[in-house]
């Protein structure tokens, strides 16, 4: 085993105290559960709890990802924004699908949201641009507000016994309504947020 590999394996995975997650009492609506978890992350002092990675791909399937900020969550979906001519903007124009991943290390929690992406209105995009902390009153017609409409949402709660809890909420790609109340899977592969295939 290389020294670098030994160094990685010696690093701690999770904090000493982890929150409980009772799947049986989880809200049927994953947006409600997400808001609860986000509020918990804010209360726990997690830095930038509204930050997430956004993965996109071009028409050929070449992947890219980056960190950004969640703008809102409503009936349209999970909101984010970028310039249409940015890499992610160009990729979304070619392939309007994406995946978000929120990771709150202090709580051993992750939320993964994947689905289709739609452009929101020019008015909403302009309002988002104007609301940025660095806004100077100028317009930016290249700025676009998007909504990720999920075809699946997955909640991950780490546990010290390595029987990590995964709570999956699949959606219909047509009407974006939950297909069923969700499934509870435990992850025993010892990985950090391994997201194994649904069993």
DSSP state of 198: P
pLDDT string in tens for the chain (199-residue length): 899 999 999 998 888 888 999 999 999 899 999 999 999 999 999 999 999 999 999 999 999 999 999 999 999 999 999 999 999 999 999 999 999 999 999 999 999 999 999 999 999 999 999 999 988 999 999 999 999 999 999 999 998 777 889 999 866 544 343 433 344 554 443 333 333 322 2
What lies within 8 Å, CB to CB, of 44 at 6+ separation is 104, 106, 107
DSSP-H helix ranges across the chain: 3-10, 30-43, 87-94, 122-130
What is the model's pTM?
A: 0.83
Q: Which two tokens stand for residue 72?
A: 């809102």
């Amino acid at each position: 085993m290389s020294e670098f590999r030994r160094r990685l394996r010696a690093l701690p995975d999770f904090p000493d105290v982890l929150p409980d997650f009772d799947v049986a009492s989880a809200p049927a609506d994953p947006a409600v559960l997400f808001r609860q978890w986000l509020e918990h992350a804010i209360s726990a002092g997690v830095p930038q709890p509204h930050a997430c990675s956004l993965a996109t791909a071009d028409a050929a399937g070449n992947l890219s990802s980056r960190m950004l900020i969640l703008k809102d969550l409503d009936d349209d979906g999970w909101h984010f924004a970028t310039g249409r001519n940015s890499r992610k903007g160009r990729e979304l124009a070619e392939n309007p699908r994406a995946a978000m991943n929120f990771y709150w290390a202090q709580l051993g929690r992750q939320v993964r949201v994947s689905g289709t992406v739609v452009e929101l209105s020019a008015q909403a995009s302009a309002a988002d641009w104007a609301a940025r902390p660095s806004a100077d009153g100028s317009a930016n017609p290249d700025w676009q507000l998007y909504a990720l409409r999920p075809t699946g949402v997955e909640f991950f709660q780490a546990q010290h016994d390595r029987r990590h809890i995964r709570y999956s909420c699949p959606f219909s790609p047509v009407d974006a309504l939950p297909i069923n109340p969700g499934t509870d899977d435990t992850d025993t592969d010892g990985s950090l947020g391994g997201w194994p295939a649904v069993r």
